[in-house]
DNA sequence: CATAAAAATTAGGCAAGGCTAATAAAATTT
DNA sequence: AAATTTTATTAGCCTTGCCTAATTTTTATG
């Protein structure tokens, strides 16, 4: 079982993420946009991945991971999310700081590492962003992430991530004292402008805009 | 403050280790032997490191780390040893499995990582091989590692590492039931062949050869 | 000191992964 | 269907790090 280069791993991961729904065609351009590089580079790499039997490629159907390629990708995602849990829970990093570090840690190679880390962390199901952590056999829980906007009045949810990561939004959240883990109860939805009235922490009722509610990811 | 490539970091680390005593001249050949590559490659890299002001180079004096280069090297060693503690104590890896993984982890870039890891681990002074962990300010405890051969009769010490890592030696140790942490009391030294009589665990007295005693590193 | 041996350096190349510019092929529009 | 626009692909080049095969330069030795 040969290993992959760092670059190959990054391609596999991006292809895996682009394939989320399995519906849309994964084109060289889509990959180049995700990796922020040139389509020509992507075409080169696709050839290498095809040679290594990690992906299949037909211009008509786009790129598809082979089983082998998917397993590699899932293991990378598994390591990424486990390391995120470690960074957040054990080292105390904020949920906005962990991604870039996990992006490096996910490439550490050792056959037992993911399993040992998982055990050490107590077999977490979700990472600090609410994304499910694939198990050793590749299975993975369903993501329960939804938009705050989709929570029905009367229900309570827990903040797991933000969609918009602009500092203006993050600062607003800070001012409200809403962070990862904050429990929010939806009190009411105003049909007129789709704003909602919510309660959380010591705040008994505040109104937030539609845009706000569409950028906060929660876990029911 | 620019960062270094993986390869540059490895050169700095090797130069730092070769400089242990600060006495012998660090030549391109010595570096190439440590890195297992070609002297010509080393000459190329020395030029890059000189340009980046990480090392100084004069054919007469050999390579010397600048303060800047030394700081980078010490941070790598710090991260390496902290990760070794993590792998051993938290993930339960054996002391012979951690080096290769730490070799990868030491290159993870994040300004707070070493400090947070150090705090999480409870400010360990030594790694699982008995090597001192540099502090954030670059200071470092003295290594107490010595050869079993140098322990005087009547003294007790603790095994921290092996010098010879051949499987024949490791198997012999396993058979004797000596591992990292085993406490050994030196009972007697036989001047004739420099063998020694030692006690450890349930073994009340065994004789080991000079070669044996010169390959076991202990901490007094 | 002259010579042999060892070490350092230079020159020229190679593979990985990127990039730009040019061309070919698809997909859309009209 | 033809024309236009968008994508994909090819060709050629660059940088990083490494290599081999000369060619100096040092260092040791007779």
CATH code, domain carrying A47: 1.10.10.10
Instruction: Supply the ipTM of this predicted assembly.
Output: 0.88
Distance CA B108, CA A102 (A): 9
Neighbours of A60 (CB within 10 A): 5
In a domain, B54, yes or no: yes
Of the three residues B20, B50, B65, the one that is the final residue of a domain is: B65
A140 Cβ nearer than 7 Å to chain D strand: no
In a domain, A125, yes or no: no
Distance CA B187, CA B178 (A): 16
Could you give the strand order of the β-sheet that contains A195-200, starting from the edge strand earlier in sequence?
Answer: A145-147, A216-219, A156-162, A183-190, A195-200, A203-208
What pLDDT sits at residue A57? Answer: 96
Q: CA at B40, C1' at D22: how many angstroms apart?
A: 12
What pLDDT sits at residue B142? Answer: 82
What pLDDT sits at residue A164? Answer: 82
Q: CA at A40, C1' at D11: how many angstroms apart?
A: 11
A41 Cβ nearer than 7 Å to chain D strand: no
What pLDDT sits at residue A211? Answer: 94
Neighbours of B94 (CB within 10 A): 11
Furthest C-alpha separation in chain A: 60
- Shortest CA–C1' contact from B41: which nucleotide? D18
What pLDDT sits at residue B166? Answer: 81
> Which of A91, A105, A110 is the closest to B120 by Cβ?
A91
Structural domains of chain A, count: 2
A27 Cβ nearer than 7 Å to chain C strand: no
Least Cα distance to A113 among A146, A144, A86, A147 occurs for: A86
In a domain, B29, yes or no: yes
In angstroms, the Cα distances linking A43 to A11, A30, A58, B176 are 11, 12, 12, 58
String of b and e for B112-129 (b: at least 16 CB within 10 Å)?
A: ebbebbbebbeebebbbb
Least Cα distance to A4 among A65, A76, A57 occurs for: A76
Which spans in chain B are helix H? 6-18, 28-35, 39-51, 67-85, 98-105, 113-120, 167-176, 210-213
Contact in structure between B151 and B178 (CB atoms under 8 Å): no
Q: Residue A106 corresponds to which tokens in the numbers above?
A: 């996910």
B211 Cβ nearer than 7 Å to chain C strand: no
Contact in structure between A184 and A126 (CB atoms under 8 Å): no
pLDDT in tens, A51-71: 999 999 998 899 999 999 999
Distance CA B123, CA B138 (A): 14
What pLDDT sits at residue A153? Answer: 95
Mean pLDDT of A2-14: 96
Q: Residue A25 corresponds to which tokens in the numbers above?
A: 């065609």
B5 Cβ nearer than 7 Å to chain C strand: no
What distance in Å separates residue B102's CA from the closest CA in chain A?
9
In a domain, B118, yes or no: no
> Given a cut of 80, is residue B1 above it in pLDDT?
no
Give, for A12, the enclosing helix (H) or strand (E). helix A6-18
> Which of B101, B109, B112 is the closest to A113 by Cβ?
B101
Q: Residue B95 corresponds to which tokens in the numbers above?
A: 């002391």
Q: CA at B44, C1' at C12: how many angstroms apart?
A: 14
In angstroms, the Cα distances linking B61 to A68, A162, A199, B48, B66 are 52, 56, 70, 18, 13
Q: What is the DSSP string of A152-175?
A: PTT-EEEEEEES---HHHHHHHHH
pLDDT in tens, A31-57: 999 999 999 999 999 999 999 999 999
> Given a cut of 80, is residue A21 above it in pLDDT?
no
- Shortest CA–C1' contact from A38: which nucleotide? C19
Contact in structure between A45 and A29 (CB atoms under 8 Å): no
In a domain, B119, yes or no: no
Q: Could you tell me if A120 lies within 8 Å of chain B, comparing CB atoms?
A: yes
> Given a cut of 90, is residue B163 above it in pLDDT?
no
pLDDT band at residue B150 under the 50/70/90 scheme: very high
Q: What is the CATH number of the domain that holds A193?
A: 2.30.30.90
pLDDT in tens, A112-158: 999 999 999 999 998 988 889 999 999 988 887 899 999 999 999 99
> Which of B92, B104, B109 is the closest to A108 by Cβ?
B104
Least Cα distance to B77 among B169, B143, B147, B154 occurs for: B143
> Given a cut of 80, is residue B43 above it in pLDDT?
yes
What pLDDT sits at residue A79? Answer: 98
Mean pLDDT of B139-145: 84
In a domain, B190, yes or no: yes
> Given a cut of 90, is residue B145 above it in pLDDT?
no
Of the three residues B16, B46, B65, the one that is the final residue of a domain is: B65
Number of residues assigned to chain B: 220
Q: Which nucleotides of D are covered by protein (CB under 7 A)?
A: 7-12, 16-22, 25-27
Say which residues have a Cβ less than 8 Å from residue B99's Cβ, sequence separation at least 6.
B84
Contact in structure between A28 and A18 (CB atoms under 8 Å): no
Mean pLDDT of B177-206: 93
Q: What percent of chain A has pLDDT over 70?
A: 100
What pLDDT sits at residue A220? Answer: 82
Q: Domain limits at A182?
A: 146-219
Q: Which amino acid residue lies closest to nucleotide C10, measuring CA to C1'?
A: B40
pLDDT band at residue A166 under the 50/70/90 scheme: confident
> Given a cut of 90, is residue A160 above it in pLDDT?
no
> Given a cut of 90, is residue A162 above it in pLDDT?
no
pLDDT band at residue B20 under the 50/70/90 scheme: confident
Say which residues have a Cβ less than 8 Å from residue B25's Cβ, sequence separation at least 6.
B61, B62
pLDDT band at residue A96 under the 50/70/90 scheme: confident
In a domain, B105, yes or no: no
What pLDDT sits at residue A47? Answer: 97
Name which residue leads in pLDDT, B183 or A170: B183
Upper half-sphere CA count for residue B195 (Cβ side, 13 Å): 8
Tell me the angle at which helices B98-105 and B67-85 cross, rounded to the nearest 10 degrees: 130
Number of residues assigned to chain A: 220
Mean pLDDT of A212-217: 94
Which residue's entry shows tokens 């890592």? B165
């Amino acid at each position: 079982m040969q290993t992959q280069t760092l670059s190959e791993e990054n391609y596999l991961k991006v292809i895996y993420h682009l394939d989320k729904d399995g519906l849309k065609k994964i084109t060289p351009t889509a990959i180049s946009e995700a990796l922020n590089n040139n389509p020509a580079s992507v075409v080169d790499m696709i050839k290498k991945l095809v040679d290594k039997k990690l992906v299949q490629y037909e211009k008509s159907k786009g790129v598809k991971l082979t089983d082998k390629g998917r397993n590699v990708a899932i293991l990378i995602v598994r390591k990424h999310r486990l390391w995120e849990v470690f960074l957040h829970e054990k080292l105390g990093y904020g949920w906005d700081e962990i991604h870039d570090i996990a992006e490096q840690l996910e490439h550490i190679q050792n056959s037992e590492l993911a399993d040992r880390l998982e055990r050490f962390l107590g077999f977490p199901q979700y990472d600090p962003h609410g994304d499910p952590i694939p198990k050793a056999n590749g299975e993975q829980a369903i993501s329960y992430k939804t938009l705050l906007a989709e929570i029905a009045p009367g229900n309570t949810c827990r903040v797991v991530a933000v969609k918009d990561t602009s500092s203006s939004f993050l600062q607003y959240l800070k001012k409200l004292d809403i962070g990862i883990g904050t429990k929010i109860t939806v009190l009411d939805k105003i049909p007129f402008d789709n704003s909602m009235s919510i309660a959380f922490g010591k705040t008994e009722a505040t109104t937030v805009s539609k845009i706000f509610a569409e950028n906060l990811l929660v876990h029911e």
